[in-house]
Amino acid sequence: MTYNYSSYVHYSADRTHIYATAVVDGSATCNNTHIQSLNCSAIYHQGKVNLTIGNTGGWVYGGQVNPNSYISVTNSQTLANPAFNTDYTLNSAEEVFCSGAVALVFLQGGPTVFRIATTYFGPPVVETGDKCYWGSLACSAGTQPTCKAGSGYTFAPACPQYVRTDYLVVNNGITAPVCISIGDIFAATGPGPCN
């Protein structure tokens, strides 16, 4: 039996939702070269994906099919109205069960913590084409941003001196937190509380 499975978890957000999707897919090549008693027509494989955000979600199961058949199982969950600067735990597990050779051939996932974080940026402001770029962090005293890199944003009618932007911060506990821009940017009157 030769296994060719993969999995991934994708995260995104907007101002009112956090979205997560976990997928396991792939196939196996069933042959009896190494195990003479392996009857490839009598066994199956089945994908299943567990995805929870807080208390939302659970398991999604794919069908039981011949190992030579491609499987793809997707589990999508949405957290509505997330509070800013509040940690939410996402748990995921992507598995493939094979009835013939081994019980579990693929497992991935684990807890990931994410939240919506805010960063303020300020002068100097540079306008290039239709985009505005802010040259410094503008966090109020005693606050530190998780996300420090800004992007160029289109702003009409003109580039304000200060802006607030929000990020989805993903922390798997292994690598440094990842900041994903939500894409919203708002004019601000001055520095503000970063988190």
Mean pLDDT of 59-70: 92
Supply the pTM of this predicted model. 0.80
Assess if residue 193 is contained within a domain: no
Does residue 67 sit in the same domain as residue 147?
A: no
Does residue 102 sit in the same domain as residue 128?
A: no
Which two tokens mark 111? Answer: 């807890």
Does residue 157 sit in the same domain as residue 121?
A: yes
pLDDT of residue 38: 66
Domain that includes residue 69, residue range: 2-113
Does residue 22 sit in the same domain as residue 78?
A: yes
DSSP for 49-106 reads EEEEETTEEEEEE---B-TTS-EEEEEEEEEESPPBT--EEEEEEEEEEESSS-SEEE
Residue 164 has pLDDT above 90, yes or no: yes
pLDDT digits (tens, 9 = 90+) for 96-152: 888 866 555 455 556 889 899 999 999 999 988 888 899 899 999 999 999 887 767
Cα separation, 145 vs 137, in Å, equals 8
Assess if residue 195 is contained within a domain: no
Does residue 154 sit in the same domain as residue 165?
A: yes
Residue at a domain's end among 113, 148, 176: 113
Please tell me which residue, 157 or 170, carries the higher pLDDT value: 170
Does residue 120 sit in the same domain as residue 108?
A: no
Q: How many domains does the chain have?
A: 2
